[in-house]
C-alpha cells in the first residue's frame, strides 16, 4: 500500500474540519466511521445527533497506534500491549480503564474507554497527522446496516451534517472490529469481529470468556442490542430446508422474494443471490449485499445460514442481530 500516493489535499481538508469540531466520514478496514475529535465533547455530541444514537452509548476512540494507548487509558495491563503488538493496526478494539480526562460523551459515562488503531492507510495517515484520538462509531443511522463504501456513508447523512467523506474504497474486512475487554480479572470477548477469537487466544495463551449476549446497564454495548445492523426489508434466516419451504410459501402468496443462498440451495424455482462460501469473503460482502437488495423493493429476503463453526462467528453474530425472523 505504501506505493500508492495518499490524497494529501483530502487529508488536510479532513484535519481542518476535525479541528473545527466538525464530523468527517473515514474509511477503516472494517466499516466506515463517523469521526469527531474525541477531545471535543461538543463535536462528539454531533455524532450522536447525526446518528440518532442514544447519548449513553460509548464510542470507540481511534488512535494511530500503541504509543497513544497511555494518553487515553490507565492501569494498562501487559495483555493490552501484547494484543496491540500482534493485531494493530487492525480490526481489534480494546476496552481499558479510561484516563480521567476522557469525556463522558465518549465513554457513555463509564470508567472505561474503547481504543483501536485502524489499518486503512488513509485513516492511518490522518490519525498520525492528527496526533489525537478520533471518536467514531460506524457511519450509519442507529440500528441500520453499517457502511462499507463512501457512497453508503453519503446516503446516510445530509451534506449539511457531513461535508466530507474520505473515500478509501470498499472495506476489506466488512464487519466491525472484535471487541475485547481487559477490565476485570479475565479478558472477555464482547463482540466477535475482524480478528478471530482463536488468534487472540493464541496470543494471550489462554481462553477468552465470551460475553456477547450479556449487556448490563453498567456496560452498555449498543452493537450488542438485537435488531442492530438490520436492513429495512424483512430478513428471514434459517437452514436450507426452512428457507426453501418459506420461499415456496411466500412465492405462492404472491410475494416478491430473494433467497440469499450459502451452498445447499440450488433451485430454479425462486430467485437466488449466491453468497460467498468462504467466511472472509462472506463478511466482506454481507453489508453491501443487504444494502443493495434493500434498494430492490423485495417483500422479504430469505437467507440460508452458513455453518456454526468458529470461522463464521462474526458473520453468525451479525446475521443473528440483523434478522427480523429466525426460523432456526
| CA–CA dist 312, 176 (Å, integer) | 14
Q: By rule CB under 6 A, what count of residues binds ligand TXA?
A: 29
Nearer to Mg ion, 68 or 138 (CB): 138
Nearer to ligand TXA, 64 or 179 (CB): 179
Rg of the chain over Cα atoms, rounded to whole angstroms, equals 20
Contacting residue, 24, 31, 243, 322, with ligand TXA by CB under 6 A: 31
Q: Of 69, 70, 81, nearest to 116 (Cα)? A: 69
**Candidates 27-35, 120-128, 153-161, 279-287; binding stretch for ligand TXA (CB under 6 A):** 27-35
| CA–CA dist 196, 248 (Å, integer) | 36
Determine if 112 is a binding residue for ligand TXA (CB under 6 A): yes
Neighbours of 227 (CB within 10 A): 10
| CA–CA dist 44, 21 (Å, integer) | 8
Determine if 83 is a binding residue for ligand TXA (CB under 6 A): no
In a 13 Å sphere around the CA of 292, the CA atoms on its Cβ side amount to: 10
Between the alpha carbon of residue 129 and those of residues 14, 111, 164, 204, 218, the distances in Å are: 11, 28, 17, 32, 35
Contacting residue, 6, 46, 57, 211, with ligand TXA by CB under 6 A: 57
Contacting residue, 33, 89, 147, 192, with ligand TXA by CB under 6 A: 33
Determine if 222 is a binding residue for ligand TXA (CB under 6 A): yes
Footprint on this chain of Mg ion (rule: CB under 5 A):
138
Task: List residues near ligand TXA by CB under 6 A.
Answer: 28, 30-31, 33, 57-60, 91, 93, 95, 107, 110, 112-114, 116, 118, 136-138, 176-177, 179, 219-223
Amino acid at each position: 500500500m505504501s506505493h500508492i500516493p495518499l490524497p494529501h489535499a483530502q487529508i488536510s481538508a479532513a484535519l481542518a474540519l476535525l479541528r473545527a469540531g466538525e464530523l468527517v466520514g473515514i474509511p477503516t478496514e472494517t466499516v466506515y466511521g463517523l469521526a469527531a475529535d474525541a477531545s471535543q465533547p461538543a463535536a462528539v455530541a454531533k455524532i450522536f445527533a447525526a446518528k440518532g444514537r442514544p447519548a449513553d452509548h460509548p464510542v470507540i476512540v481511534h488512535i494511530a497506534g500503541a504509543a497513544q494507548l497511555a494518553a487515553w487509558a490507565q492501569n494498562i495491563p501487559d495483555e493490552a500491549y501484547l494484543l496491540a503488538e500482534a493485531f494493530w493496526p487492525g480490526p481489534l478494539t480494546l476496552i481499558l480503564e479510561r484516563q480521567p480526562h476522557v469525556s463522558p460523551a465518549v465513554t457513555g459515562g463509564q470508567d472505561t474507554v474503547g481504543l483501536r488503531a485502524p489499518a486503512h492507510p488513509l485513516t492511518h495517515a490522518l490519525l498520525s497527522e492528527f496526533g489525537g484520538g478520533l471518536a467514531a462509531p460506524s457511519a450509519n443511522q442507529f440500528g441500520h446496516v453499517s457502511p462499507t463504501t463512501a457512497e453508503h456513508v453519503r446516503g446516510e447523512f445530509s451534506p449539511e451534517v457531513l461535508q466530507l467523506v474520505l473515500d478509501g474504497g470498499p472495506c476489506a474486512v466488512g464487519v466491525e472490529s472484535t471487541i475485547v475487554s481487559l477490565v476485570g480479572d479475565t479478558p472477555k470477548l464482547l463482540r466477535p469481529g475482524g480478528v478471530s477469537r482463536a488468534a487472540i487466544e493464541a496470543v494471550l495463551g489462554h481462553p477468552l470468556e465470551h460475553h456477547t449476549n450479556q449487556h448490563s446497564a453498567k456496560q452498555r454495548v449498543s452493537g450488542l442490542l438485537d435488531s442492530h445492523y438490520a436492513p429495512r426489508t424483512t430478513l428471514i434466516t434459517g437452514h436450507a430446508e426452512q428457507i426453501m419451504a418459506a420461499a415456496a410459501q411466500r412465492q405462492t402468496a404472491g410475494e416478491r422474494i430473494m433467497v440469499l443462498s450459502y451452498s445447499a440451495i440450488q433451485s430454479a424455482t425462486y430467485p437466488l443471490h449466491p453468497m460467498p462460501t468462504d467466511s472472509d469473503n462472506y463478511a466482506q460482502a454481507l453489508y453491501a449485499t443487504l444494502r443493495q437488495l434493500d434498494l430492490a423493493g423485495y417483500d422479504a429476503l430469505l437467507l440460508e445460514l452458513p455453518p456454526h463453526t468458529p470461522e463464521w462467528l462474526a458473520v453468525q453474530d451479525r446475521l443473528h442481530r440483523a434478522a427480523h425472523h429466525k426460523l432456526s
